[in-house]
Amino acid sequence: MAVLAGGLSHEREVSLRSGRRLAAALRESGVDVREWDVDSSLVTQLRTDPPDAVVIALHGGEGENGSVQAVLELLDVPFVGTAAQACRRAWDKPTAKAELAGAGLDTPDWVALPHSTFRALGAQAVLDAMVDRLGLPLMLKPDQGGSALGAQVVTDRSEMPAAMVSCLAYSDTVLAERFVRGTEVAVTVVNDGPELRALPAVEIDARGGVYDYTARYTPGTVAFHCPARLDDATQARLAETALAAHRLLGLRDVSRMDAVVDEEGRVQVLEVNVSPGITETSLLPMAVRAAGMDLGRLYSALVERAIARSRFT
């Protein structure tokens, strides 16, 4: 089987690390694995030497927005993870948030606007309206993409223009979100058996800082607690919310919900990832370990399911 990693997204480096880690874990479980850096030879390779199944360890861009998934579906190659159409929905943060909010899940109030709107309507007036509605501090992030690339906490109105310019360098549309104080958590959902299940929540303690790119990928800068230091009722609500979000967005096999448990104890969903990071500092492997499971065995089970699934369709 093949692990797809790398590619040309901004998250290439993270993806290569995820791919290496995942491939090693699968090999330890006795699976014969190839690692493929995705480039223009992908389709030819898949046609001439098709693997039994593919695991997508791509982050950002084509690997998460459904493009690679659509190509795999086109070629009838079984793969672990969410189908193309649902990927597209989950990948676009404003779309996913609207679906979650529509179904009654809490997600921080937000507005997503493309550059053209600011240009057409006057930037300052729109920025003022955003701040008036969402308050300060607020989060600015590209509407697509992960690893917190381009994400910023804006604490003062005067910082908005510069933050917008930085954010728009990643994507043409910016998602502004109310900043929620509370306990930052990530909940992994897996479907490796008859029942979809949520793994223990990982609590992210950024120690007063922001869980930004540097904090995510510099080992030791952030403390993690798994299970999260939250009461049983909250833990149960987190699990229910993650399962509900997974089902609602039509996700498959594995996902990770990032959320904040706010000061009132509500679970505020920030986003749901179809291709969670699997690096040495990533949250999914921590949850897997805390659940007493093995990463390689988990993914080999998911691979078996993907192959079985393809036989029935």
Q: What residue ranges bind other proteins (CB under 8 A)?
A: 8-14, 16, 39-40, 115, 118-119, 123, 147, 149-150, 158, 161-162, 164-166, 168-170, 192-194, 197, 199-200, 207, 213-214, 216-227, 280-282, 285-286, 289-294, 297-298, 301
Minimum distance of other proteins from residue 258's CB (angstroms)? 16
DSSP 229-257: SS-HHHHHHHHHHHHHHHHHTT--SEEEE
Look up residue 63 and give its DSSP letter. G
The catalytic residue among 147, 171, 191, 275 is 147
DSSP 152-182: EEE-SGGGHHHHHHHHHTT-SEEEEEE---E
Q: Is residue 18 flagged as an active site residue?
A: no
Q: Is residue 203 flagged as an active site residue?
A: no
Q: Is residue 109 flagged as an active site residue?
A: no
Q: Which is nearer to other proteins, 182 or 227 (CB)?
A: 227
Rg over CA atoms, the chain: 19
Q: Is residue 277 flagged as an active site residue?
A: yes
Q: Which is nearer to other proteins, 102 or 193 (CB)?
A: 193
Instruction: Compute the distance between CA of residue 54 and CA of residue 63 in angstroms, rounded to an integer.
Output: 12
Structure token pair of residue 94 = 């404003």
Residue 50: partners with Cβ closer than 8 Å, 6 or more residues away? 75, 77
Minimum distance of other proteins from residue 69's CB (angstroms)? 21
The catalytic residue among 170, 211, 217, 299 is 217
Structure token pair of residue 194 = 């008859």
Q: Which is nearer to other proteins, 73 or 205 (CB)?
A: 205
Q: Is residue 159 flagged as an active site residue?
A: no
Q: Which is nearer to other proteins, 174 or 244 (CB)?
A: 174
Minimum distance of other proteins from residue 98's CB (angstroms)? 25
Residue 313: partners with Cβ closer than 8 Å, 6 or more residues away? none
Q: Which residues are catalytic?
A: 11, 147, 217, 256, 258, 271, 273, 277
